[in-house]
Amino acid sequence: MEPRNHLLIAGEWVGTEKALPVINPYDETVITEVPVATEPVIDAAIAAAESGATDMRRLPAHTRSAILTKAALLLEQKSDEFTESIIAEAGKPRKYAAAEVGRGVETLRFAAAEAMRIHGETVPMDASRGSEDRRGFFIRVPLGVIAAITPFNFPLNLVLHKVAPALAAGNSVVLKPATKTPLTALKLGELLLEAGLPSKSLNIVVGSGSTVGAALVRDSRIRMVTFTGSPPVGEVIKRDSGLKRVALELGSNSGAIIDETADLDKALARCLVGGFAFSGQVCIHTQRLYVHEAVAEQFSALFTDAAEELVCGNPALPETDIGPMIDRAALSRGLALVEEAHAAGAEVLCGGKTEGTVMFPTVLLGARPELPVVCDESFAPIVTIDTFRDFDEAIALFNEGSALGEYDYGLACGVFTRDLGRAFRAAEQLEVGNVLINDSATTRADHMPYGGVKDSGIGREGPRFAIEEMTDIRMVSFNLG
């Protein structure tokens, strides 16, 4: 068996009695089996990471940076291999899988750069009466062992958004990738060891969230849990993690506003990608569009025509835009959302159909804001179009529509306008972590501060910002008096 089909514990590839099949979501064949971490293996992973944390703390910043730089180089060299792995286990169309690998290389480079910039500040102690004779400064120190729990939809880059900054800051990691997509994460472990990472500083355990994930969340040797995934699981992690630090990157029903001054070609191109990339299985999926009534008919027709032209089918083919849903349950859920909206009076402009595990791009007009396809996270290739008359009304519609479902989301909103005043009003009034002017919600550069407000999460990622979450401030004061 190849090393990546084992768990990574203290630099060794470990098997267990129990195995988990990894399924190709397109043809539904078993790609391979991966061992499931048992209690003793989880314990060994955390114990190794404790010792790995000591190794990492001792490494100078330039060495941590050099390891991450080497890893970026190796990933670039092996980009085809990683692309194939993402296509096979996630069913991500080739163009998007290759783009994810390219982003992974950048995430590693950004983390390598940040590793050399971690610093504190001097503190003017004499500003406080009675402290005239004190001199002070603070430094940033690593936390120790960080547990990283990741979702299926970006099996490489969202793992890197946790692992790379954690290592850059001098922490060790126990990683639990999504059970549907463990292979790319295990390959990454192999690559990081090849790049020279101390063997105990990254340990990878596979298994269900409710057993393996929960064991990590509860273990007192772990100092922080960094999680990306769904809001219900985020709630459980926050509840069960005791006094550990948590960073939660959760879901959303993100969207975009298109006003009557907008460049419609640009809005069309960006919202098409935002609405349908990876079949909408993206946390910043552009699932709700609010279009000014003066251009709504024209935009809806153009958008529907373009959606119908997207190539659906085998994700391995270079021309494919829309591949399979991650599993049959996700497919049924997507269809049910459309059927429910249709029954409630929404017009299905295109899609609403499936073939195998592929759901065709679907555009709905006139879905009421309280329908789950609008107010919950659809995580499917479905875009709803609503209209507005006044720009401030659109901001209100977006904000109100974020809170009508099970959760009160606030991750991202795109705004297409040529009116500078409106762009600034949107930036100030939209209740989200990311406002994207003349871009769809589905926009992320990997070094920007990224994260949600309200039920969309706690904390920010992007290596510089993740490092802030993954370090402690240690104040040092000298009494010279």
Q: Is 366 helix (H, G, I), strand (E, B) or coil?
A: coil
| Cβ pair 137, 476 in contact under 8 A | yes
Ranges within 241-260 binding ligand NAD (CB under 6 A): 249-251
Query: Angle at CA 345, nearest 5°, toward 339 and 347?
Result: 75
Task: Kindly state the smallest distance separating residue 300's Cβ from ligand NAD, in Å.
Answer: 26
Would you give the DSSP letter of residue 390?
S
Q: Strand locations in 318-470, DSSP E?
A: 347-350, 354-355, 358-359, 362-365, 382-388, 412-416, 434-437, 457-458
Report the relative pairing of strands 288-292 and 354-355 from DSSP bridges.
unpaired
CB atoms within 10 A of CB 196: 12
Would you give the DSSP letter of residue 38?
P
Task: Kindly state the smallest distance separating residue 36's Cβ from ligand NAD, in Å.
Answer: 12
Ranges within 271-310 binding ligand NAD (CB under 6 A): 283
| Cβ pair 100, 157 in contact under 8 A | yes
458 binds ligand NAD (CB under 6 A): no
Give the residue from 334, 379, 338, 383 showing the smallest Cα distance to 359: 334
Task: Kindly state the smallest distance separating residue 227's Cβ from ligand NAD, in Å.
Answer: 6
Distance CA 315, CA 324 (A): 7
165 binds ligand NAD (CB under 6 A): no
Instruction: Please select the residue that binds ligand NAD; options are 52, 155, 213, 274, rule is CB under 6 A.
Output: 213
Binding track, positions 118-157, relative to ligand NAD; x by CB under 6 A: -------------------------------xxxxx----
Task: Kindly state the smallest distance separating residue 89's Cβ from ligand NAD, in Å.
Answer: 12
Distance CA 53, CA 171 (A): 5
Per rule CB under 6 A, count of chain residues that contact ligand NAD: 29
**What's at 225, amino acid-wise?**
V
Binding track, positions 382-421, relative to ligand NAD; x by CB under 6 A: ----------------------------------------
Instruction: Please select the residue that binds ligand NAD; options are 377, 386, 431, 446, rule is CB under 6 A.
Output: 377
Instruction: Please select the residue that binds ligand NAD; options are 237, 289, 296, 337, rule is CB under 6 A.
Output: 237
Burial of 31 (0-12, 13-18, 19+ CB in 10 A): middle
210 binds ligand NAD (CB under 6 A): yes
Task: Kindly state the smallest distance separating residue 20's Cβ from ligand NAD, in Å.
Answer: 11
224 binds ligand NAD (CB under 6 A): no
Q: What are phi and psi of 157, to 5 degrees?
A: -70, -30
Ranges within 29-68 binding ligand NAD (CB under 6 A): none
Ranges within 303-362 binding ligand NAD (CB under 6 A): none
The residue assigned the tokens 């370090």 is: 471
107 binds ligand NAD (CB under 6 A): no
183 binds ligand NAD (CB under 6 A): no
Q: Please, which residue, 154 or 299, has the CB nearer to ligand NAD?
A: 154
> What does the binding site for ligand NAD look like in residue numbers (CB under 6 A)?
149-153, 158, 176, 178-179, 208-210, 213-214, 217, 228-230, 233, 236-237, 249-251, 283, 377, 379, 452, 457
